[in-house]
Structures are given as C-alpha cells and as structure tokens.
Chains A and B, each alone.
Chain A
Amino acid sequence: MTAGARPRTSPEIETLLLAKTDFQAFLDQLWQGGYRVIGPTIAQQAIVYDEVRRVEDFPRGWTDEQSGGQYRLKRRDDEAWFGFVVGPHSPKRYFFPPQVAVAQADRTATGWQFSEVPDQEPPYALLGVRACELAAIAVQDRTFINEQYVDPIYRRRRERALIVAVNCTQAASTCFCTSMNTGPRCTKGFDLALTELPDSFAVEVGSDRGADVLSTLTTTAASEVELQQAEVARQQAVDQITKRLDTKDIRDLLLGNLEHPRWDEVATRCLSCTNCTMVCPTCFCSSVKEVSDLTGDHVQREREWDTCFNWDFSYMNGGVVRNQIRSRYRQWLTHKLASWIDQFDVSGCVGCGRCITWCPVAIDLTEEVAAIRETPA
C-alpha cells in the first residue's frame, strides 16, 4: 500500500532521458513548486540526506565502501552522481521524524485545551531513493497508516511527498536486497525512477504525479542503445551482491528458537548501543515526553525515536522485563525478521545492510540467522 504515488494504469512505461545539463532546472522547478528537496549530500565523511539546491550538492564522483562495522568514502575515477549505495540516513526521518510534537495542551481560564500541533513542513521531494528504501517506506506505511490507528503526521507527509528513486548501479558487501525481494531494481512505490548514464538519466514514470512533473521538463526519447546501457548499469548492482539471507521458514525458525544458545553468544558481542535501530529504515519505536514552558501553562507532547535496545525500554512495575542484552538483541532480531510478519504480513527487513555497516562490533544478522538455522532446537 503506497499512499501518495498513484500508479499509472498504462502498461507501457515509456522511458525518457533527462540530460544532466537539465537537472539543475529540475531542482529549481521543484523548489519553485513548493517542495523541500532532499537528496544525498556529504557531511561528516558520510553520505547523508539533506536539502539539495544545486547539482553541486550531490556527492558527484564519490562512492562508499561498506562492510561490517566499516564505512568509508572514496573518490571514484569517474564523476557519477549516484555512484554509491545507502548511508546512515533513510527516508524514515522525513515521514517519521526523529523528534516531533504530536499534541499540545494549553491551560486556559476554562481548563486545559488539547489540540494538535499543525505540521508546518512543506511537501518533500525525496531524490535518490533506492529500491530498498522504497520497500522500507512500504513497510512503514503498514505500521503508520493501518486501518485502525493512523499517524496523522506520517500520513500527511507521505501523501504530499514526491519520490524520485534512483536505481542502484552497484552494491556494497553489506547489501542483501535480493534475498528480501526488495531490489536492487525499483519496480514500484516511486513517482519517477532514474538510472544514471554518463550524460543523462533514463527516467521511468511510476505515477500520475510523476508524469506531471516530468512533463514540465525537457526530455528526449531514449534510444535502444541507451536503454541497453541503463539495463547493463542496473545489472551491475545485481551482480555485485554477495551477501545472502536464507528466509525460508524464518518466522518459525526464530520464534521456535527463543532459547537458542546463539542469543547468549551474540550478547557477548552486542553493546546494546542502539545504532542498528537508528539506521534501520523500518524501525518505528518511539516515546512521548512532556515538554512544558516555564509557566507550565503550555505543554507539548514530543515524540522521539526510541529503541528496544534501551535498557529501560521494557520497564514496568518496578522492573525491566528485558534486563539483559541477550533479551534485547533477541527482541530486535525476532521482531525484525519474524514477529513483524505476524504483525504486518511482511518482513521488517529490506536487506539494506545498514545495521551490519553501522554496528561497531560488526554483528551481521544474516550470520546470526544462519547460526541458528544450523543447529535449531
């Protein structure tokens, strides 16, 4: 279920080319159209999402080298604009912000008045969204826009967002989207999808909104040669994927091995540092805290990202249920790969590999699952 991107009804997805020399005009048009344009940029030696106004803001000519507990930027020998995979940020920080006011209370002469806090954010245009991230957005849609209780902030931002995806042309050693059937090819959930060529982008339209945006830009038809080039570029990403997660019966495997000795073993390495949950594009845990002004007459309820790795996340009645790292790691992994399926009819993992890259001790969930699979109960 993807709110916002109304899929095209026509079976023929025509591919057009957008010249790189025309990309600045594209950015300008988006900003003029009222979007806040977000895309990959370099900050603090990583590729992170931030506002993009000029094409010079993109990490052109840079790539990332990732492995367990390792992330480095390196110069490429070409000037590719999107020649990298995913960094510590994901689109979740825009629809499900790390910190946001969800309600407020004002003390008036007639008592407390409760109201929403109007969300002031302009609509986002997210540029450079990868296939795994599209899948993660679809996963989070199930959490935040389900039938019973809808998060109004998520829904509003999601519905108004323009999603311009980019097809990966390479893979990191930590990527395993193919195991999760989430990539590397962008197939749905986007308004536009770009594949980088030397001087242009092959553009696929994924929705009416995308078509409308594209119609305002200068484009040319893609030739057979160019279509071939795009296909070759995308195939490179597939070929470079080495990591695998065996997902066969994974729900029963994990929920049927809750006392497996592997949990004790991983607990000797896991620091409960919470990095994995911070970078994971589907993690959704949060806490609300009360923030008063000095008079105490105006209170905001601020929701912040929380994480099941926090020691007192499961506190109740004078004690903490998951008092040990063993319990907390087990909770995270079984939720992500198993319980999520019961809860949302889909896996919580999209195979982006961020948790492996950003774990300071290089815990690899594909290895943890394999270890349990090797000696199940």
Chain B
Amino acid sequence: MSVQASSAIAENPWLAQSVEIAAVTPELPGVATYHLRFRDAGLNARYRFRPGQFNMLYLPGVGESAISLSAANENSGTWDHTIRVAGNVTRTLAGLGVGGELALRGPYGTCWPLDECAGADVILVAGGIGLAPLRPAIHTCFAERKRFGRTTLLYGARSPDMLLYRRDYDAWTDRGLNLSATVDRSQPGWSGDVGVVPLLVDRLRPLTPANSVMFLCGPEVMMRYNVRSALERGLRRDQIWVSLERNMQCAVGLCGHCQLGPAFVCKDGPIFRYDKIERFLNVEGL
C-alpha cells in the first residue's frame, strides 16, 4: 500500500502503519511520553512532521486517539508522543510497555507558523499538557536560533509536581529561552509564581507587541483569557495562534465530528490564527 513520501498516510486514509514502543518516559501521574518507531525502517527514516501536528494512534480492537507529536528524537530515531490517560485507548496504551505494538497514521493538521515568523519575538503560552504540542516549536527555535528574536515560554500547571518536562527547564533557559512557570496551587518548596497563566502575560517584560507572535495551547478557557491579556498588552488578533481540540476521529475531514463552524479542526486546524476562528469560538455550544 503506497504511502505518501514523508508521512505515514496511505492512499487508503483508514490504513495505519505499524509502530512499536521503543521507550517510555514517565512524566507525571497519568502522563507518559511514548517514543515510537515505525517497524518499516525506511518509513522511519523518511517520516517528517511540523511542530503542532498530530498523529492518530491506533490500538486494534480498542480504537484510535489523536495525539500531538511532542518531539522528534534524532538520536534514537523515535517520534515522541506525550499522552495523558483519558479514555479507553490511552488507558490501554498505558498498559503497554517497551516493545508494545500499535499503529499510527499521520501527521495531520496545521502547524505552528514558525516559517512566517522570521525575526519575531516568539511567545509560547501553555497550560497543563498543552505544553506537549509546543515542545517541538521550542526545539525549532533552538535549532534555528538566528531566525527568531526573543523566545519566551509562559507555562502554568495545576501544582509544582504537575509541571511537565520540568527536567528540561534548566537546559532550555541555558539555551536562551525566557521561561516563567506558575502554578494554580502551590506546594512546600515552591518559590515560583502562584496564579493563572494570563497573569504572566500581563507581567511579561520586555515586550515589543508590534514584533511579537504568540502561540497558545491549553484548556480553552485559559486560552481565552490569555488572548484577552495579550490584546490588552497590544498584540493584534492576527499575531496570535491557538491550538484547538474537538472530537477527532478520522483526521481527514470525512467523518464530520471535529467541526467548529465551517472549520474542520483536523485539517483546517488544530492550529488556527485567532482572528480567523474567534467568532466561532465565542459561540456557546457551537
């Protein structure tokens, strides 16, 4: 079955490609990163994705789940997916270990528009597990340092023990990332910020609104208030991108489930420029 050049998308869009779990990195309670490798070595060498895209992971007999790619691991030749147990598929996946077998089709969806942001200050704003789809964007900013201005990460989680990828933070700041982390609930030993992520947007300095872009990923309510803060700080709606979530099943715009207004979140998104999606986001129950 022929597969498009740099993807694991067959001519038959329902057909997935075999992958195995090369490694599992526990991250948080109920959250782990699965390092997947295609069984077809040629495909594994050819596969490419853009930061922000997602794959459909398939467990035969159980079903599929849409999971964003959280990193490309060049050293180990794996494709990383940070997954939180939330339903049947992810729960079954959590029972698999190294060597476990599943299937994958993708990558799907739009990506963080880093290509259009040369020279800009890149402000990444994430909440909870929303940091996972932004992580490849962080890596791109490091890899192509000279193409971008100041890179900042504003990140919030429920509590200090729920900060995702915490072991990476020192390395990130060493490489020039301005990182502010905040938590909803503090714990002993935490001397960082306490409060919601929009407060970090309120306080962000230095900020050159005219030359900034903002990429947001997290719970929809959180994103809405972050946008509000960003607009108050002088960013425009066409400088802000949001990653949305809806019920994704086919990932190819055929099953109809993921629609938000006229947009198919699986192929017109999940990453949308805010001005293009704002009016539909603001309608309750759309």
Chains A and B in contact, CB within 8 Å? yes
* A residues neighboring B (CB under 8 Å): 102-103, 105, 107, 111-116, 143-144, 146, 148-152, 255, 258-259, 284-290, 292, 296, 299, 301, 303, 306, 308, 313-318, 321-324, 326-327, 330-331, 334-335, 338-339, 342-343
Within 8 A of A (CB), among B173-209: none
**Could you say which of B11, B61, B63, B255 contacts A152, with CB atoms under 8 Å apart?**
B11
Within 8 A of A (CB), among B1-55: 1, 9, 11-18, 20, 39
Q: Which residues of B contact A289 (CB under 8 A)?
A: 63
Determine if B61 and A296 form an interchain contact, defined as CB atoms under 8 angstroms apart: yes
Determine if A314 and B61 form an interchain contact, defined as CB atoms under 8 angstroms apart: no
Assuming the contacts A314-B247, A316-B246, asked whether A116 and B12 have C-beta atoms less than 8 A apart, the reply is yes
Q: A81 to B141: give the CA distance in the assembly, Å.
A: 70
Determine if B252 and A288 form an interchain contact, defined as CB atoms under 8 angstroms apart: no
Determine if B255 and A287 form an interchain contact, defined as CB atoms under 8 angstroms apart: yes
**Could you say which of B9, B103, B249 contacts A112, with CB atoms under 8 Å apart?**
B103
Q: Top 7 nearest A-B pairs by Cβ distance?
A: A285-B256, A342-B262, A327-B285, A339-B262, A149-B252, A105-B60, A102-B14
Assuming the contacts A288-B249, A316-B247, asked whether A258 and B12 have C-beta atoms less than 8 A apart, the reply is no
Q: A288 to B257: give the CA distance in the assembly, Å.
A: 11
Q: Which residues of A contact B264 (CB under 8 A)?
A: 343
CB proximity of B217 to chain A, nearest CB, Å:
14
Determine if B246 and A151 form an interchain contact, defined as CB atoms under 8 angstroms apart: no
Within 8 A of A (CB), among B247-278: 247, 249-250, 252-257, 259, 261-262, 264, 267
Q: Which residues of A contact B253 (CB under 8 A)?
A: 146, 148-149
CB proximity of B250 to chain A, nearest CB, Å:
7
Tell me the interface secondary structure of chain A in the complex.
mixed
Q: Beyond the given A150-B13, A288-B64, A318-B86, could you list 11 further A-B residue pairs with CB under 8 A, ordered by the A residue number?
A: A103-B12, A111-B101, A112-B102, A113-B18, A150-B11, A287-B255, A288-B255, A299-B61, A301-B14, A322-B286, A327-B286
**Could you say which of B16, B60, B245 contacts A316, with CB atoms under 8 Å apart?**
B245
Determine if B103 and A321 form an interchain contact, defined as CB atoms under 8 angstroms apart: no
Determine if A292 and B255 form an interchain contact, defined as CB atoms under 8 angstroms apart: no
Determine if A339 and B259 form an interchain contact, defined as CB atoms under 8 angstroms apart: yes
Q: A112 to B254: give the CA distance in the assembly, Å.
A: 25
Determine if B18 and A343 form an interchain contact, defined as CB atoms under 8 angstroms apart: no
Determine if A290 and B61 form an interchain contact, defined as CB atoms under 8 angstroms apart: yes
Assuming the contacts A255-B261, A327-B286, asked whether A148 and B267 have C-beta atoms less than 8 A apart, the reply is yes
Q: Which residues of B contact A331 (CB under 8 A)?
A: 259, 286
Determine if A116 and B15 form an interchain contact, defined as CB atoms under 8 angstroms apart: yes
Q: Please give the number of chain B residues whose Cβ is less than 8 angstroms from any Cβ of chain A in the complex.
A: 40
Q: Which residues of A contact B64 (CB under 8 A)?
A: 288
CB proximity of B258 to chain A, nearest CB, Å:
9
Determine if B246 and A338 form an interchain contact, defined as CB atoms under 8 angstroms apart: no
Of the A-B pairs whose beta carbons lie under 8 Å apart in the complex, a sample of 25, sorted by A's number, is A102-B12, A103-B12, A103-B14, A107-B60, A112-B18, A114-B18, A149-B254, A150-B11, A152-B11, A258-B283, A285-B256, A287-B255, A287-B257, A288-B249, A290-B60, A290-B61, A290-B62, A299-B61, A306-B257, A314-B246, A316-B247, A323-B285, A338-B262, A339-B259, A339-B261
Q: Which residues of A contact B9 (CB under 8 A)?
A: 149
B207-234 to A contact mask, C-beta < 8 Å, 1/0: 0000000000000000000000000000
Q: A292 to B59: give the CA distance in the assembly, Å.
A: 12
Q: Which residues of B contact A316 (CB under 8 A)?
A: 245-247
Q: A144 to B15: give the CA distance in the assembly, Å.
A: 16
Q: A223 to B285: give the CA distance in the assembly, Å.
A: 60
Q: Which residues of A contact B101 (CB under 8 A)?
A: 111-112
Q: Which residues of A contact B103 (CB under 8 A)?
A: 105, 112, 114
Q: A272 to B13: give the CA distance in the assembly, Å.
A: 30
Q: A143 to B264: give the CA distance in the assembly, Å.
A: 12
Q: A308 to B252: give the CA distance in the assembly, Å.
A: 17
CB proximity of B104 to chain A, nearest CB, Å:
10
Determine if A286 and B252 form an interchain contact, defined as CB atoms under 8 angstroms apart: no
Q: A315 to B63: give the CA distance in the assembly, Å.
A: 15
Determine if A308 and B256 form an interchain contact, defined as CB atoms under 8 angstroms apart: yes
**Could you say which of A146, A288, A296, A306 contacts B14, with CB atoms under 8 Å apart?**
A288
Determine if A149 and B13 form an interchain contact, defined as CB atoms under 8 angstroms apart: yes
Determine if B13 and A151 form an interchain contact, defined as CB atoms under 8 angstroms apart: yes
Q: A89 to B254: give the CA distance in the assembly, Å.
A: 21
Q: A285 to B250: give the CA distance in the assembly, Å.
A: 10
Determine if A306 and B255 form an interchain contact, defined as CB atoms under 8 angstroms apart: yes
Q: Which residues of A contact B13 (CB under 8 A)?
A: 149-151
Determine if A111 and B39 form an interchain contact, defined as CB atoms under 8 angstroms apart: yes
Assuming the contacts A105-B60, A321-B285, asked whether A286 and B12 have C-beta atoms less than 8 A apart, the reply is no
CB proximity of B132 to chain A, nearest CB, Å:
15
Q: A317 to B247: give the CA distance in the assembly, Å.
A: 9
Determine if A111 and B255 form an interchain contact, defined as CB atoms under 8 angstroms apart: no
CB proximity of B87 to chain A, nearest CB, Å:
9
Most buried by A among B9, B63, B64, B256: B256
Determine if B11 and A114 form an interchain contact, defined as CB atoms under 8 angstroms apart: no
CB proximity of B157 to chain A, nearest CB, Å:
17
Most buried by A among B1, B245, B285: B285
CB proximity of B17 to chain A, nearest CB, Å:
7
B112-154 to A contact mask, C-beta < 8 Å, 1/0: 0000000000000000000000000000000000000000000
Q: Which residues of A contact B16 (CB under 8 A)?
A: 103, 114
